[in-house]
A and B are shown apart, each in its own frame.
Chain A
Amino acid sequence: MSLHTESPDLAESSPEIEFERYELREGPAYHFALDRRDFLRGLGGGLLVLYLLDRESPEAEAQESGGRRRGGFNRAPVPQDVGAWLHIGEDGKISVFTGKAEVGQNIRTSLAQAVAEELRVPISAVTMVMADTKLTPFDMGTFGSRTTPDMSRRLHRAAAAAREALIDLAAETWKVDRQGLTAKDGAVMKTASGEKLAYGKLTGGRKLTRTVTDDTPTTPPEKWTISGHEAAKVEGRTFVTGSHQYSCDIRRPGMWYGKVLRPPSYHASLVSMDPSAAQAMPDVKVVRDGDFVGVIAPSEHGAAQALAAIKAEWKPGPPISDRDLFRDLKAPGGQRPPERGGRGGGGGFGGPNVNAGSTADGLAAADVRSEETYTIAYIAHAPLEPRAAVAEWVNGELTVWTGTQRPFGVRGELTGAFKLPESRVRVIVPDTGSGYGGKHTGEAAVEAARLAREAGRPVKLVWTREEEFTWAYFRAAGVIEIKAGVKKDGTISAWEFHNHNSGPSGVQCPYRAASEAVAFHQSQSPLRQGSYRALASTANHFARESHVDDLARAIGMDPLEFRLKNLKDRRMRDVLEAAARAFGWGRKPESGRGVGIAVGMEKGGFIATCAEVAVDRSSGRVQVVRAVSAFDCGAVVNPDHLKNQVEGAMVMGLGGALFEAIAFDGGKIQNPKFSKYRVPRFRDVPEIEVVLIDRKDVAPAGAGETPIVAIAPAVGNAIRDATGVRLRSMPMVPRGLKV
């Protein structure tokens, strides 16, 4: 993963790029070269194009350095291997194979656009085969906003190479110069006469293979006719009719249903259990394997009844609580949970520390100094489709359908759990009911597989909402401390920023400061924590953009002007100005309302958000009434789907900004239900406007994460504007605004 930035000083100051924590911790120890013949099996004649990963590519480099620097896991270098492949059959059928998973970000559409663009065919002519470990090449996972910059780029190249190979074949067939030939609508055509040969016919019964690497020329964004334009969601009809099969909808012949016995609190251990009442129920099987206890029954209802009938005695674990969470996160060891082999999250690497000049001197030279602490609660991803899996064993081979962002990682979990070679495990990811960084792990897959082995038949396991809220993992909580000094002319003389636990993503200061110290500090997290959309960037942007707002106010400068004056990056200034213009920044809001602005950069994308809030002083209700974001992620691939992502990220971000927080006490989650854990609903949603800055000159970056980072500080700054109250905790108003 590379953090795209135009400022070389920033790039150099961040040698440690935050890797998503789970996929490395829990990834396979080795990855061996694939047997190419596997790819060809089952395919008839036609043209096969293999995209070879370049060992020198920045992505491979980042992956290698991720393993090398952090050590201890995934030491094997990423092999030079196939990153994607594409097949054009004799029947003209175009099939594209990628390990990426569709979880709602609409990449099934955007990747099909990339192939259709280069092959000069309609999108409907392209079939995307995704996230199936038997059919698609290895992929690290669908995270880090890498699908568009990596996979889309690869598919553009693979499809462009296929097109050129087809033109060569036509030239050979007709014995003419290829200059006079054009690829169009699934055929190669003599440009002058219009005589055509369909793609499928050109291979003439042969099985041809081409390889392609990163230097294959592709169609530049300004000439795109399919990419860069609106395209309807591929297979959209299956979603509005309810016919799409998510993992939890898969049914297999003879399938039974499983449930897993959960401890009453974290780190509790099973002392004894009496399964006799459950076992007395007809057709019920109880499975105990070490700490794992599960039941299987012909219906989900039966499985739930059997589970409830098991009498179990538990020895409680440490009574972890959120009471002194933020103190403890700053003082590692305060609530240290027992280590669980490789599952704790939390990383194992230092932060992207920055030290430039003396902040002590900088603070001494300041006209105004400001020192504050910001806190960030744990929140849950709460994907509407909880973890689910259907597992089936046939002749010692395991197939699991499950919703995950890391099919190959989950395969690794399964091969590890059952001591199987990779060739005997297949993970299939049906397009999934969202993830937001929360589905990097394969708990349900492993559990369903264990139960299915016992049952001797396929087993479906769907986590309950309570299980999803409790036994998945959380976005990290954190404490952020900032000390800053500013001069009356609006220059920043000192910037000191410490993040405890939540993570180093987006920790760098995008503003010029005469002296700077930035550090990320590891803590022992009492809860299992992991990736969440934009990682810690949301927390770091909240703290920084709130603090910067206060600095501007302290010297009587407009917050927009202050930012524009100090921002280093041109693209950040551009989005800031675009958002301010569309929002009408500078207009005074009506009484009881306030406006706020914030800007950010993450994963190659640039976001600025303006928000207007209405605060009802008597009830304490805070309503975001209007929000405008300007977003630049390079060349736009699908304008409407991109807007959808930006809108969705803003709405999701409102939850963490205003009211989402995981409460835990006595080793238990206190609010593991939608009736107790508030997520954004219809009534919380403001009028939203999205301004896209389409940079045809810049290769597209991913867009699923970055637009979430600026909404919380924009709203906080608007609340400050409306009320004079500065809120420094996320969530800001879980019980309304108490003034």
Chain B
Amino acid sequence: MPDTQELRINGKTVRVEADRNRTLLGVLRDDLGLTGSKYGCGEGRCGACTVLIDGAPARSCTTKLAAVASREVTTIEGLERDGKLHPLQQAFLDAGAMQCAYCTSGMIVAGAGLLRQNPSPSRQEIVEYMDGNICRCGTYNRIIAAIQSAARAVKEASR
């Protein structure tokens, strides 16, 4: 049965009327119109639906709505600030780190989670952290390069 619930999404408080057993992904996409997070597998194995919950990457396709009450959810739509792309978004564009780009939202959000935790990851650390995200077009090496270049850009900017 639908419940009214307050959520914190991309820094804003929003109210949704939705069954608490629904997935966060479904609510983001269908109720809130935040379609940047994608369905890819429904079992948390491809990463296309990745969002940050309190700063850590999570699979929104296997996260129940009830589990995000009073937690801070960030989606791909929340990364751009005042018209300025997040360094990872810019780095993905610069590195041409996409083809069909269906995985891109999840890749960028997972990468943002990684950089929060480890501001200068090695190639091996990126591979291990990102291994749950699938890019069927096979642009993995470009994604690794983009994450590394975003890490450098962040470091430069904070210098």
Contact of A685 among B29, B43, B140 (CB under 8 A): B140
Q: Which of A106, A245, A681, A683 contacts B99 (CB 8 A)?
A: A106
Residues of A within 8 A of B34 (CB): 242
B134 proximal to A (CB < 8 A): yes
Q: Kindly state whether residue A597 has any CB partner on chain B within 8 Å.
A: no
List, in ascending order, chain A residues with CB within 8 A of B138's CB: 647-652, 680, 685
- The reply to whether the CB of A98 lies closer than 8 angstroms to some CB of chain B is no
Q: What band does the interface of chain A fall in when counting residues whose beta carbon is under 8 Å from B?
A: 35 or more
Candidate in B46, B126, B133, B136 with the most chain A CB atoms within 10 angstroms: B136
A644 and B142: CB pair below 8 A?
yes
- How far, in Å, is A468 (CB) from chain B's closest CB? 9
Contacts of A245 in B (CB 8 A): 35
A239–B43 CB distance below 8 A: no
Q: CB-CB < 8 A to B104: which residues of A? A: 239-240, 242
Given A301-B22, A384-B48, are A251 and B33 neighbors across the interface (CB < 8 Å)? yes
Q: How far is the CB of B114 from chain A (nearest CB, A)?
A: 12
Whether A299 contacts B38 in the complex (CB less than 8 A), given A251-B33, A434-B102, comes out as no
Taking CB atoms and an 8 Å cut-off, the chain A residues in 666-724 that contact chain B are 673-675, 679-683, 685, 687-688
Choose from B26, B35, B98, B130 the contact partner of A249 (Cβ within 8 Å): B35
Stretch at the interface among A151-159, A229-237, A550-558: A229-237
Contact yes or no, B130 A682, CB < 8 A: yes
B37 within 8 A of A: yes
Question: Which residues of B1-44 are within 8 A (CB) of A?
Answer: 18-19, 21-23, 26, 29-30, 33-43
- Return A323 CB to nearest CB of chain B, in Å: 27
Across the interface, do A241 and B38 meet the contact criterion of CB distance under 8 Å? no
The reply to whether the CB of B93 lies closer than 8 angstroms to some CB of chain A is yes
CA distance A644 to B142 in the complex (A): 8
A729 to B22, CA, bound (A): 43
Distance between Cα atoms of A432 and B135 in the complex (Å): 14
Q: Does B76 contact A (CB under 8 A)?
A: yes
Closest chain A residue, CB of each to CB of B37: A242
CB atoms of B26 and A300 under 8 A apart: yes
**Chain B CB within 8 A of A246 CB:** yes
* Contact, CB under 8 Å: A384 / B38: yes
- Chain A residues whose CB sits within 8 angstroms of the CB of B89 once the complex forms: 240-241
B134 touches A299 (CB 8 A): no
A653 to chain B minimum Cβ distance, whole angstroms, is: 9
When C-beta atoms are compared, the residue in chain A nearest to B21 turns out to be A301
Q: CA of A640 to CA of B145 in the docked complex: distance in angstroms?
A: 14
> Chain A residues with Cβ under 8 A from B29's Cβ?
249
Query: Residues of B within 8 Å of A, CB-based: how many?
Result: 60
Q: Report the tally of A-B residue pairs with Cβ distances under 8 A.
A: 173
Query: CB-nearest residue of chain B relative to A382?
Result: B136
Q: How far is the CA of A645 from the CA of B138 in the complex (A)?
A: 9
Query: In this complex, which of B38, B140, B143 has the most chain A Cβ atoms within 10 angstroms of its Cβ?
Result: B140
Does A330 lie at the interface of the complex (its beta carbon under 8 Å from any beta carbon of B)? no
Q: Are B105 and A242 in contact (CB under 8 A)?
A: yes
What is the CB-to-nearest-CB distance from A645 to chain B, in angstroms, rounded to a whole number? 8
Whether the Cβ atoms of A384 and B103 lie closer than 8 Å is yes
Is A105 an interface residue when CB atoms closer than 8 A count as contact? yes
Q: Shortest beta-carbon distance, A382 to chain B, in Å? A: 6
Would you call A242 and B36 a contact (CB within 8 A)?
Answer: yes
Q: Is B85 touching A237 in the complex (CB atoms < 8 A)? A: yes
A160 to chain B, nearest CB (A): 28
Q: How far is the CA of A36 from the CA of B91 in the complex (A)?
A: 45
| Residue among B37, B93, B102, B126 with the highest chain A CB neighbour number at 10 A | B102
Instruction: Quote the shortest CB–CB distance from B13 to chain A (angstroms).
Output: 21
- Cα–Cα distance between A709 and B143 once the two chains are bound (Å): 24
**Complex Cα distance A680/B130, Å?**
13
Q: Could you say which residues of chain A place their CB within 8 Å of the CB of B126?
A: 682
Residues of A within 8 A of B21 (CB): 301
Does A448 sit within 8 A of B, measured CB to CB? no
Query: Which chain A residue shows the least CB distance to B2?
Result: A299
Closest to A238 in B: B101
Least CB distance from A593 to B in Å reads: 19
Q: Is B77 an interface residue (CB 8 A)?
A: yes
Q: Is the CB–CB distance between B36 and A243 below 8 Å?
A: yes
With A249-B29, A651-B138 in contact, do A242 and B96 touch (Cβ < 8 Å)?
A: no
Once A237-B93, A465-B41, A682-B144 are accepted as A-B contacts, the answer to whether A299 and B102 lie under 8 Å apart by CB is no
B43 to chain A, nearest CB (A): 6
Q: Does B127 contact A (CB under 8 A)?
A: yes
A332 neighbours in B (Cβ, 8 Å): none
Q: 1/0 contact trace for A449-468 toward B, CB 8 Å?
A: 00000000000001011000
Inside 8 A of B99's CB, which chain A residues have their CB? Answer: 104-106, 434, 644-645, 648
**Distance of A106 Cα from B22 Cα, bound (Å):** 36
Provide 8 A-B residue pairs closer than 8 Å at the C-beta atoms, listed in order of the A residue.
A243-B36, A248-B35, A383-B102, A383-B136, A651-B138, A674-B40, A679-B136, A681-B132
**12 more CB-based (< 8 A) A-B contacts, given A240-B90, A240-B93:** A104-B101, A239-B98, A248-B39, A301-B19, A301-B22, A383-B102, A385-B100, A465-B40, A652-B138, A679-B136, A680-B140, A682-B144
